[in-house]
Structure 1
Amino acid sequence: MLKVPEMKPVQRIQANLLAKAERRALTWMCARLPAWVTPDVLTALGLAGAVMIFAGYALSAIHPVWLWAVVGGFVVHWFGDSLDGSLARFRQIERPDFGYFIDHSTDGLANLLILAGLGLSPFVRLDIALFALAGYLLLSIHAFLAARVVGELRLSYLAAGPTELRLALIAVTLAMFAFGALPVTDTGLTAFDLIVGFVGVVMVILFVVQTLVTTRSLTLK
């Protein structure tokens, strides 16, 4: 019979560039949110932001003005996704198992919506967008496994976390609106294909490296 290892106390590791400034901003907002705004409401709001992003990217095939819906969707997604857990901790109403399960489940769905929407836009090929999604999900799998096995939940890599990725995607989206698809001569690709594909490759490499590092640390115990 398969023996499931006991869950260790989880230490959150968040070393992204904006972590401290973002934490101060989130604490400030938590203190000012009305009582009817609950962590569950914010989780749903974050998912609604991901739906906005999906729709904006997909509809940009009709007209690039829809890319502004993408920018707005990223703001809504950040607000809901970043504040739900922060508000629960601020009000001391945490539900650790429920929150962990729902938060990461909705994150997975949101990431699928964002990358699939990007792949349905005229700027990035669907296969390249889904490759980037695979890289992101591999890193997520590593983070969840490490939380279970070594008690560390890594929320950032190379000084970048979800907030930095959202800002990068906003910058890329604005470049799409300003410059169009930017085709790369004789390749059938756009400049945005290369950017998204490169990010996907980096995430896959990070997954492999982090897996080897964790494996080595476990063998030395």
Structure 2
Amino acid sequence: MNEKQLSMATLDKQSEDRKRTFKDRKRTNILKSAEQKAISWLVARMPKFVTPDILTGVGLVGSLLVLGGFLMATYVNVTYLLVGIAGLFINWFGDSLDGRIAYYRNIPRKWYGFSLDIIMDWISTILMGFGFLVYIKNEFEIVAFLFVAFYGWAMIISQVRYKITDKYTIDSGLFGPTEVRFIICAVLISEVLFVGSMKWFGVVMCAALFVINLIDTRALLKLGDKRDLAEKAALLNSK
């Protein structure tokens, strides 16, 4: 096999590996291409002893670090918010790789993994939201509550959409969890530089989540109505 044929074979294998790794979900987010390349590179080099469940635990540790960063920023010094950036990266690492490595290794447990992923995502959201609540204080505490509530609403939409369409997606158009993590990192840095800015960023993020959820809910109801009509038509045709 010459060098050109070897290169083509390598590219074909990489393409097959990527298709297998991401075959269970459709992504539409802005960072899709770069993120999938990074995940593909990482899962191919992950030691055998690192299991999907271990990576799920790593993601939870990242969430605890974010919580810890908020608590230390509240009671020690605001610069500890930067610990949250490391926590968000660790959370992305574990949360993004746990299911992907299972598909890469051909050992997926579809419903076990799906159930665990949703539960851990909600726990992570609560932990981060609690840290935000402790840090933000006073009348702006409602912002932390709304952020968790609206993010939970977005999670419910994704699960119901999966039930209706049998296609799982975690993105809302061009934005997904990874983009949200980047935005939160920017907000944490901004708060360290300009103390007090986080509460206003929180208001903007809550407003954006509310609008996005309204749009996604409307689209979801249309999908539900469409499926209802299709099932009714199928029932009438079967008689």
**TM-score, normalization by structure 1:** 0.86
Q: List, as ranges, runs of 4+ consecutive aligned residues in structure 1 with deviation greater than 6 Å.
A: none
Q: Which has the higher strand share?
A: 1
Q: CA deviation at 1:46?
A: 0.2
Structure 1 segment 42-191 matched on structure 2, within 5 A: 42-61=55-74, 62-122=76-136, 125-181=140-196, 191=197
Q: Distance in 1 between matches of 2:71 and 2:160?
A: 33
Q: CA deviation at 1:11?
A: 6.4
Aligned to 2:222: 216
Could you tell me which runs of 5 or more consecutive residues in structure 1 were left unpaired when the two chains were aligned.
1-9, 182-190
Q: CA deviation at 1:216?
A: 2.3
Report SS of the residue matched to 1:154.
coil
Q: Which has the higher helix share?
A: 2
Letter in 2 for 1:83: L
Contact 1:123 1:176 in 2 (8 A): no
Q: CA deviation at 1:31?
A: 0.8
Q: Distance in 1 between matches of 2:173 and 2:145?
A: 22
Structure 1 segment 8-47 matched on structure 2, within 5 A: 12-47=25-60
Contact 2:157 2:220 in 1 (8 A): no
Q: Distance in 2 between matches of 1:35 and 1:216?
A: 44
Q: Judge which range, 93-102 or 194-203, deviates more.
A: 194-203
**Which of these two proteins has the greater Rg computed from alpha carbons?**
2
1:203 matched to 2:203? The reply is no
**TM-score, normalization by structure 2:** 0.80
Q: CA deviation at 1:171?
A: 1.0
Q: CA deviation at 1:122?
A: 4.3
Q: Distance in 2 between matches of 1:164 and 1:218?
A: 28
Percent identity between matched residues is: 26
**What is the aligned residue count?**
203
If asked which structure has higher relative contact order (CA below 8 Å, sep 6+), I would say: 1
Aligned to 1:5: none
Q: Distance in 1 between matches of 2:71 and 2:173?
A: 30
